[in-house]
Structure 1
Amino acid sequence: MSSIIDQDVERIREAVKESLEFEKKLLQDVEESILHPVQLLVDKATPFQLAVTMQNQGECQGSITAEGSMIKSNLISSSDAVNIFLRGHTQEPFVYENARKPICLAHPALPMVNLVQPTIASKFYCNENLNEVGVTARFVPFFHGGSL
């Protein structure tokens, strides 16, 4: 009887050992697949900071904001800085020329959700400079007609 129990105990030990080895391998695989931790940028970021963060995070950075500060920021309103938004929409290559080293993004992606007040949206869509370079065309508006 004790030999049967000993065999069962040994099987359980083997199963536990296999399970631990599997978990260890899984954790190693997960750690290797994560390039960089997710970073939070504030709406006062410069185009350089955005480009560096996108480069470090697989060329993708999402933006979700409940205020109009991103729409009013220099990242969009500056004609020099708007290029990263245009390229992030179409995933065309983007190069930021820096004195230290250029930042090259082959396929940048910049998905954005901006929940803004109607007055800010109106000013944004009426901005002729942004209309001319195609910025406003890349921000598709959705106006909610009902109450929440």
Structure 2
Amino acid sequence: MQQHTLTGYGTALLRVSLGAMYLAHSILLKLLTYGLDGTAGYFSSIGLPAWLAYLTFAAEAAGGVMLVLGIYTRAVVLSLVPALAGAIIWAHGANGWVFTAPGGGWEYPLFLIAASIAQALLGDGAFALRPSPKLAGVPAH
């Protein structure tokens, strides 16, 4: 196989993995574990507006589906980075590095930010249904 083909497959693997993570974080954690009202209550408890929990849930769920399918990957991952940065600032930053710390540390959201930025730089990868527009000077695989 040619290198660009392997790169395309690796980029697609990253895209689908990120999509599955965002789906799990929204559907399994926010909806099925805590419930949307419980998630909204948590957001309120840390000083964020309750409505932001519903917006975050919708963005993660829709973004996860779009990533798995390969629809506008670059825009999706970049639009989800602010929520992850907010998770570090408002929810996990004071809890220390390790995510298993009480209240969850900030290693997990920081890693997801790094992976999302890498995905934005790499592009869609193989098997994307609606590839992202090319960025000037950044090759799409």
Instruction: Sort the TM-score into its range (normalised by shorter chain).
Output: under 0.3
Higher RCO (C-alpha 8 Å, min separation 6): 2
Q: TM-score, normalising length from structure 2?
A: 0.22
Q: TM-score, normalising length from structure 1?
A: 0.21
Asked which structure has the greater CA Rg, the reply is 1
- Structure with higher strand content: 1
